[in-house]
Amino acid sequence: MPGTNRVAVYRSNSDIRVEHRPMPEIGPGEALVRVRASGICGSDVMEWYRMPKAPLVLGHELAGDVVATGEGVEHLRVGQRVVVSHHVPCNTCRHCLAGFHTACETLHSTNVDPGGFAQYVRVPALQTERGVLALPGSITYEEGSFVEPLGCVVRAQVRAGVRLGSTVLVVGSGISGLLHVRLAAALGAGRVLATDVSTYRLDWARRSGAVAAFDATEAGGRLPELIREANEGCLADLVVLATSAPAAISQALACLEPGATFVFFAPPPPAAPLDIPMHELWRREVTVRTAYGAAPSDLAAALDLIATRRVRVDDLVTHRLPLDDIAEGFRLVAEARESVKVIVEP
C-alpha cells in the first residue's frame, strides 16, 4: 500500500487539482477502502452548492475493496468488494423514527474521508456499521457506483407512489432522469414520458424506455397538449423534475392531472424566481413534494434492483477516466452535451 493518497481537490468546475495527501489512518470500528469506481454526480457540478465549501474532495458514488479494518469490525473482511454510503442517519431521532431519514442531522453531518475522488477513503465507524453494502460477485464496481444515485431515485418514486399503470413524466433526461425513466417502468408505470432540451439525451430517454420524449424548447407551452396526445387525452399522474433549470418548473407543473404528484428531485438555484400557480394546484388537489438523498433501505433496494437486472445501469456509462483526467470528467458533466455517466477510476 502506498504511503500517500492521491486525491482530486475541487475548487470550482474548472479548477480541480490532483494532490498527494497522507494515507488516512483508521481507528476502532473503521475501515479503509480502495476506491475502484466513483461516479461524477450532477450535484457535484452545481457551483452554487459546492464552491462555498471549497476546497474539498468530492465523490459520493463509490465502490471498491476493503483493504483494512479497525478493531471491533467483524462484519467486513479484507478483500471484500463493497459499496460505501457517504451519509448515514442515526436511526433514533424523531425524523428517522417518522421515516424522514434524509432529514436527520446525523446524515447531513457524516461523510467518508476525504471523499470518493481519491485512491483510498477512511470509512468512519458509523458508516462502517450501517453504510457499507457487500457487492455481489455478479455486479461490477461500475454498477456498484450506481447504488447511491439509484437509491435517491428509489426514495423519490416510492415516497411519491408510482401506481401500477400510471403515467409518469420525467422532466430532464440527464443521468438522474434516465434512472427515473427506467425505475418507473420497473415499478409498473403504464406510460413513461420524458423531456429534455438535448436531442442526445432525448434519444437516451427513448432507449431507456420512454414511450415518447419531447424537446422541451420546441414544445414550449404546447407540452401539455403533446402529453395528452401521447397519453389518451390525459396528463401525467406523477411528474418528476430532474433538472435544475428554473424554466422547466412552470412547464412541468402544467402537465399534472388532477390529484397528481409533483416531485422536486433536482433543486433550482437558491435565488431563482419560481412561478408556481398555487391556486391552480390547490383547486386540482395536486401534491407537491421534495426528495433529497437516500436512506439505507433505499440503497439496499437499489442494490437489489441492479443485481436482479430489473434496472439496467451498465450501458449508461459513456466515459471512464483515471483520476488524473477528472477535470475532463467535470467538464463533460457540467456541459451536459454528449455524456451520460462519467466514472472516475482512481
3-state helix, strand, coil in the chain (%, to 5): 35, 25, 35
What beta strand segments (E) does 89-155 contain? 120-123, 132-134
The correct CATH number of 151-290 out of 3.20.20.70, 3.40.50.300, 3.40.50.720, 3.30.700.30 is 3.40.50.720
- Which pLDDT score, from 0 to 100, does residue 1 have? 55
Torsion sign across C-alpha atoms 195, 201, 203, 208: negative
Assess whether the region 4-146+313-345 and the region 151-290 belong to the same CATH fold.
no
Number of other CB atoms surrounding residue 258 within 10 Å: 11
pLDDT 10s digit of each residue in the chain, 346 long?
Answer: 568 999 999 999 999 999 999 999 999 999 999 999 999 999 999 999 999 999 999 999 999 999 999 999 999 999 999 999 999 999 999 999 999 999 999 999 999 999 999 999 999 999 999 999 999 999 999 999 999 999 999 999 999 999 999 999 999 999 999 999 999 999 999 999 999 999 999 999 999 999 999 999 999 999 999 999 999 999 999 999 999 888 899 999 999 999 999 999 998 888 888 888 889 999 999 999 999 999 999 999 999 999 999 999 999 999 999 999 999 999 999 999 999 999 999 9
Q: What is the pLDDT of residues 11-26, one digit of tens each?
A: 999 999 999 999 999 9
180: CB partners within 8 A, 6+ apart: 153, 156, 157, 168, 170, 240, 242, 265
Topology classification of domain 4-146+313-345:
Quinone Oxidoreductase; Chain A, domain 1 (3.90.180)
75: CB partners within 8 A, 6+ apart: none
> Using DSSP, how many helices (H) and how many strands (E) does the chain show?
14, 15
Q: Is 160 exposed, middle or buried (0-12, 13-18, 19+ CB in 10 A)?
A: buried
**159 residue type, one letter:** R
Domain boundaries, the chain: 4-146+313-345, 151-290
Q: What is the value of pTM for the model shown?
A: 0.96
